[in-house]
Amino acid sequence: MTSWLRIAVAAAIAFASVFFASRPAHAFPWMIREGYTGCNTCHADPSGAGILTQYGRGMEEVVLRMPYKKDADPGKMGNFLFGAVDLPEQLLLQTDFRNLFMTILPNGGAAQFQDILMQLDQSAQLKVGRFRVNGSIGYAPPTANINSNFTFRGGGFGATLTGAPSDAGAIVARQYWLGFDIGKDEEFLLRIGRMNVPYGIRSIEHPFLVRSVTRTDTNTSQQHGLTLSYSGEKFRGEVMAILGNYAIHGQAPAGQPQTFATYDSPHERGASAFFEWMPSNKVAVGASGLATYANLARTDLDPSLNSDQLGRYAFALHGRIAPVKSVVILAEADALVNSQPFTQDCPTCQSHANNHFGMAGLLQVDLEPYQGIHIMATGEVFNGHIHETNNPTYDTTTVVGWIGAWWFFAPHFDFRVDAVYSSGSAPGASPTAQGTSLLAQIHGYL
Amino acid sequence: MNRARVALATLAFATTLAVTADAKLARTGTPQVAFHASGPAGMKIVGQTTDLDVDDQGAKIVIKVPLRNLTTGIALRDDHMRNKYLQIGSYPNAELSVDRASIHFPTGDGTASGDANGTMAIHGKTKNVSFHYNVARTGGSLHVGGTTKLDIRDYGIDIPSYLGVTVKPDIDVEVQFTATE
């Protein structure tokens, strides 16, 4: 495909994305303001995010978006295709779209612009008796450098079925799983497949340091494995046996044959767990843990690591509280360790262990002065003590501040703007430009 | 002299008891009435109102809760609750009627608690109920709390269901109010 044709295709997709935008099913931990301490009433995933249930679609109309008629019953407006099609109750369908336009103002550098088609997914769930089949499949367009300052690209590249994006883009599949509901009230769900890792506050902002340094975001950090979740009135939680992210695989060195060992090398094995106690319908406090091991570290995610074995450990305390309906406070504090084997740095042959010890923190205040309008202020911090094999040990601190506004302005649509300032760099964090970034997102869903 | 003192003390004690037994209760302050309902897999609904009246009829005490301001925090759900399920246009109140004699009031400043029976009237139906109460007296005020469990089906109330989510019929009710004698 010629570069001009590629640019034309990319531009067409961008325009189409704006005019035919639909809103994705986000993870909204601040729904605790409505008394929804758990996520499974509105989402098929019991720990939140992803495809909405029929009730979840209704609640988006009733409590989430800006009302233009007082206390109106939403009818079928929140349903699939705005109610044009009646789906059987066993079937959930959802088409999600999200586009981000980002302006990066680096310290002392020229402004850079990116348009990212973050999500273009079709999700579905079929429930027959207590069995469920759930999955999503989408498309990420190829990267197009429109000019030296403007790039158009797709998202979800860590969750592709087709490997690295080609000139035609990539097929993205963030989640797919089989599930079985257990218990008198179906309060337990056993799942196998590719799923979000149960850890920490599940929010849509995947660049949050607490999500990116722990690799527990809902964008591309899903893992294959087995999970068991519980959703009760006072407690909820989920545990996961992590078997690896098979959307990526290792490559044999040039000239050497690919073996299963090299193919399997970056796949992490381990476990994660999320637990939350809800003493009232406006307070939730919890803890999470993660421990994984891989034969080969993902240096593409964290260049400060060696291409060597890696043990990754993270522990978190988190809380959500709605002191009044218009205000929700989210907080999370994480301790993490990335541990690699001792290596020797010759000619001095000093032994080093490439280890990172870090603490990450998040505090977000969500203010909803009027239904459908959110003002959010977020503060983040990461402090790390980094031992690297061939570099001096150093400490690094990253501080990030967000100010944003989110408007759920119409059925199935929302629009969000954020200003983000970041100083420092956290190993393993999403590549966040130091300086200021301005984000504008349009979302929608069918 | 000692006999006179004993007689006076006895008379005072009896008078106190008589006052306690016969003094009419009147609600003061802001009461708190709440119900807790649940749905599938951990879903919770809390309904609240601050409307409550105490009607002291001597042998009986009637606690009346007007339902017009009962709220769960979501306006559409409140509308369904009040008009579709509780039908407050026809049945505006929930009432608990209790024999005064079945309640142990503390004598002097102190607390008393226990279980008692009464009759509950909701949605045009009346049922015997058991409830737990506690009463704390401070000076002339009685701080009263009570809890009970109800099955809404006993009162002819349809089980609420919306968009595939059905509320369980068992609900917990708790009441707190202050009254003076």
Q: B170 and chain A: CB distance < 8 Å anywhere?
A: no
List the single residue in A with minimal CA-CA distance to B75. A71
Indicate the residue of A36, A185, A281 with minimum beta-carbon distance to B40.
A185
Whether residues A233 and B46 touch (CB distance < 8 A) is answered with no
Q: A232 and chain B: CB distance < 8 Å anywhere?
A: yes
Separation of alpha carbons B132 and B144, rounded Å:
11
Query: What is the nearest CA distance from A41 to chain B, expressed in angstroms?
Result: 7
A residues 325-384 closer than 8 Å to B (CB): 325
**In which band, very low, low, confident or very high, does the pLDDT at A393 lie, cut at 50, 70 and 90?**
confident
Structure token digits, residue A72: 């109106």
Q: A69 and chain B: CB distance < 8 Å anywhere?
A: no
| Alpha-carbon distance values, A158 to A80, A98, A286 (Å) | 28, 17, 28
The full set of domain ranges for chain A reads: 3-445
Around Cβ B138, how many Cβ atoms within 10 Å?
A: 12
Whether residues B75 and A70 touch (CB distance < 8 A) is answered with yes
Mean pLDDT across chain B, nearest whole number? Answer: 89
In this prediction, residue A33 carries a pLDDT of 94
Composition of chain B by helix, strand, coil, percent to 5: 25, 50, 25
- Lowest-confidence pick of A74-78, A92-96, A119-123: A74-78
Separation of alpha carbons A293 and A8, rounded Å:
44
**With 90 as the cut, is the pLDDT of residue A350 above it?**
no
In this prediction, residue A64 carries a pLDDT of 93
A419 by Cβ neighbours in 10 Å (0-12 / 13-18 / 19+) ranks as middle
Interval A371-388: pLDDT, tens: 999 999 999 999 988 776
**Cβ-based contacts of B39 with chain A (< 8 Å):** 41
In this prediction, residue A6 carries a pLDDT of 43
**Cβ-based contacts of A63 with chain B (< 8 Å):** 74
Q: Which fold has domain A3-445?
A: Porin (2.40.160)
**Cβ-based contacts of B41 with chain A (< 8 Å):** 38, 40-41, 46, 185-187, 231-232
Query: What is the nearest CA distance from A234 to chain B, expressed in angstroms?
Result: 7
**With 80 as the cut, is the pLDDT of residue B11 above it?**
no
**With 90 as the cut, is the pLDDT of residue B108 above it?**
no
In this prediction, residue B174 carries a pLDDT of 97
A88 or A12: which carries more pLDDT confidence?
A88
A408, A68 contact by CB (below 8 A) = no
- Kindly state the average pLDDT of the residues A34-50: 92
**With 50 as the cut, is the pLDDT of residue A440 above it?**
yes
**Cβ-based contacts of B77 with chain A (< 8 Å):** 62
**In which band, very low, low, confident or very high, does the pLDDT at B167 lie, cut at 50, 70 and 90?**
very high
Q: Starting at the edge strand that comes first in sequence, how are the strands of the sheet with B110-122 ordered?
A: B44-49, B26-38, B170-180, B141-151, B125-138, B110-122, B93-99, B60-66, B53-56
**With 50 as the cut, is the pLDDT of residue A123 above it?**
yes
**Cβ-based contacts of B48 with chain A (< 8 Å):** none
Amino acid at position B63, single letter: I
**With 50 as the cut, is the pLDDT of residue B76 above it?**
yes
Beta partners for residue B112, in sequence order: B135
Mean pLDDT across chain A, nearest whole number? Answer: 87
Distance of CA A223 to the CA centre of its chain: 12
Count chain A–chain B contacts defined by CB atoms under 8 A.
65
In this prediction, residue A1 carries a pLDDT of 44
**With 60 as the cut, is the pLDDT of residue B16 above it?**
no
**Cβ-based contacts of A281 with chain B (< 8 Å):** 44, 46
- Kindly state the average pLDDT of the residues A401-408: 97
**In which band, very low, low, confident or very high, does the pLDDT at A333 lie, cut at 50, 70 and 90?**
very high
Q: B83 and chain A: CB distance < 8 Å anywhere?
A: no
A26 or A57: which carries more pLDDT confidence?
A57
Whether residues B162 and A41 touch (CB distance < 8 A) is answered with no
Q: A40 and chain B: CB distance < 8 Å anywhere?
A: yes
Interval A127-148: pLDDT, tens: 999 999 999 999 999 888 888 8
Whole-number percent of chain A with pLDDT over 70: 89
List the single residue in A with minimal CA-CA distance to B162. A55
Whole-number percent of chain A with pLDDT over 90: 63
List the single residue in B with minimal CA-CA distance to A39. B43
**In which band, very low, low, confident or very high, does the pLDDT at A163 lie, cut at 50, 70 and 90?**
low
Query: What is the nearest CA distance from B111 to chain A, expressed in angstroms?
Result: 27
Structure token digits, residue A44: 């098929």
**What's the full length of chain B, in residues?**
181
List the single residue in B with minimal CA-CA distance to A325. B73
Indicate the residue of B39, B42, B163 with minimum beta-carbon distance to A58.
B163
Q: Which of A37, A45, A62, A80 to mutate to test the interface with B (most CBs of B within 10 A)?
A: A62
**In which band, very low, low, confident or very high, does the pLDDT at A353 lie, cut at 50, 70 and 90?**
low
Interval A301-331: pLDDT, tens: 888 888 889 999 999 999 999 999 999 999 9
List the single residue in A with minimal CA-CA distance to B163. A55
**In which band, very low, low, confident or very high, does the pLDDT at B5 lie, cut at 50, 70 and 90?**
low
In this prediction, residue A433 carries a pLDDT of 55
- Lowest-confidence pick of A27-31, B34-38, B95-99: A27-31
A residues 274-303 closer than 8 Å to B (CB): 278, 281
Query: What is the nearest CA distance from A36 to chain B, expressed in angstroms?
Result: 7
Indicate the residue of A38, A62, A63 with minimum beta-carbon distance to B42.
A38
